[in-house]
Amino acid sequence: MSEITYGLDALAALNGGDEEQGGGMEFSPLKSGTTYTVKVIGIHYEIDGKKKVMGDFISYFNYGIFKKVNSFVAKNPSKKSAKGYPVDNLTPWDKAWKYHQDLSKEFQDKHSQEAYKYKPAQKFAFGFFDLDSGKEIIVDLTKNQAKAVNEAIEKYGKKLDKLAFELSKTGQSTSTKVSLTPIIDMDEDLTDKQRANFDKAPKEFDRKLFEGLLYEADEDEMIKSLIQAGFDVSLIGYDTPTASEPSINDEDIPLGDENTEDDPTSQF
């Protein structure tokens, strides 16, 4: 499944430098103003003799432009540097990023801003047990959001079996924040249904739910989506479609979400 990483590999990606389709599971919407009451199903691990807990999540590199080109991952992904920049086996979107990046002369100039549109964004998908529905859910987070959530999981790691949490998102656009806050008095603050679901939550998150979560686009689909984004693919060595070729439509690439990168103005 493309370049998706799990467990400690995903944790390494989350804590790193700051600088197959088929399961049918979908992201649960986490728009600003949304709050889920959840139980955290953490992963217990040991490093250097110390027992620790982390969230159950995956790491992946996502392409797309909000409200213009729907989110996807590359079926044949490029090789990335330690900081997540494409360095080899470039996808069409990586080539579009590099085209503008090479022409950029200074921070936030026109080409710098254009390059950002096509750069792969490292994202994280976290699994939780929703106490209202009594089902497992998955939410996608940017790196900064994921760090905040996982830090809370690590902080309360020894009490995950005794605490429910509120998973909330606030703010707008690049100022959005995601928090995971413990509910201390569960007798007072949870409904009977939520308490019952807390007690029946599984011991482990079903990782099969991560499979099929992300749409994998092949090279032809990525070229079509670049054209949809308004990029002239002839600039990076691809043929432009003729009038006889079918044009891309909204059904060609599945819908993404509104969760954009934390800092779209950052220099590459």
Which is nearest to 46 in space by CA: 15, 11, 5?
11
Tell which CATH classification among 2.60.120, 3.40.91, 3.30.160, 3.90.198 matches the domain 5-236. Answer: 3.90.198
- Per residue in 160-216, pLDDT (tens digit) is 999 999 999 999 877 889 999 999 999 999 999 999 999 999 999 999 999 889 999
pLDDT per residue as tens digits for the range 2-14 = 566 656 566 666 6
The answer to whether 212 and 23 have CB atoms below 8 angstroms apart is yes
| pLDDT at res. 108 | 85
Instruction: Write the single-letter amino acid at 23.
Output: G
Long-range pairs of 85-88 with CB within 8 A, sequence gap ≥ 24: 85/119, 85/268, 86/119, 86/120
Per-residue pLDDT, averaged over 93-100, amounts to: 98
pLDDT at 83 over 80: yes
Residue with tokens 């982390």: 54
Q: Which amino acid is at 150?
A: N
HEC-encoded secondary structure of 139-184: EEEEHHHHHHHHHHHHHCHHHCCCCEEEEEEECCHHHCEEEEEEEC
Q: How many CB atoms lie within 10 A of CB 261?
A: 18
Q: Is the dihedral of CA 254, 259, 265, 268 positive or negative?
A: negative
pLDDT above 90 for 231 = yes
How do residues 100-146 score in pLDDT, each as one tens digit?
999 999 988 999 999 999 999 999 999 999 999 999 999 999 999 99
pLDDT of residue 19: 37
With b meaning 16 or more CB within 10 Å and e meaning fewer, what string describes 159-184?
ebeeebbebbbeeeeeebebebebbe
% the chain with pLDDT above 70? 81
Cβ-in-10-Å burial (0-12, 13-18, 19+) of 85 comes to: middle
Kindly report, residue by residue over 23-73, the tens digit of the pLDDT: 568 999 999 999 999 999 999 888 888 888 999 999 999 999 988 999 999
Q: Given this model, what pLDDT does residue 7 score?
A: 64
Section 237-266 average pLDDT: 51
**Where are the strands (E) in the chain, listed by range?**
5-6, 35-39, 43-47, 50-54, 57-65, 69-74, 79-80, 86-88, 121-130, 135-142, 164-170, 177-183, 216-217
Cβ count near 198 (within 10 Å) = 21
